[in-house]
Amino acid sequence: MTDSPIEEMTFEQAMSELERVVGQLERGDVALDDSIRLYERGALLKKRCETKLKEAEEKVAAITLDGSGAPVGLTPIDGQ
């Protein structure tokens, strides 16, 4: 487990660490206090992944298409 700031992680970094955390918890070979710490970090990693996915979905949804279905630009998100 790394102690990298979760809020700075890419989706891929957060997902990779979340997979490691889940693996450790599933094996059950860590002390109770460590399990609690891992679970808490895992919850934060899961939230980071969800946030990054939502951001990506919003970007994809903002792509505008022309009459033939070809992308022509982006629609500003939230009127920005």
CATH code of the domain covering residue 40: 1.10.287
Residue 30 within any structural domain of the chain: yes
Is residue 45 included in any domain, yes or no? Answer: yes
- 1 lies in a domain? no
**pLDDT digit string (tens) for 10-59?**
999 999 999 999 999 999 999 999 999 999 999 999 999 999 999 998 88
Q: The domain containing residue 45 runs over which residues?
A: 6-79
Are 44 and 51 in contact, with CB atoms under 8 Å apart?
no
Q: What is the greatest pairwise CA distance in the chain?
A: 60
Report pTM: 0.76
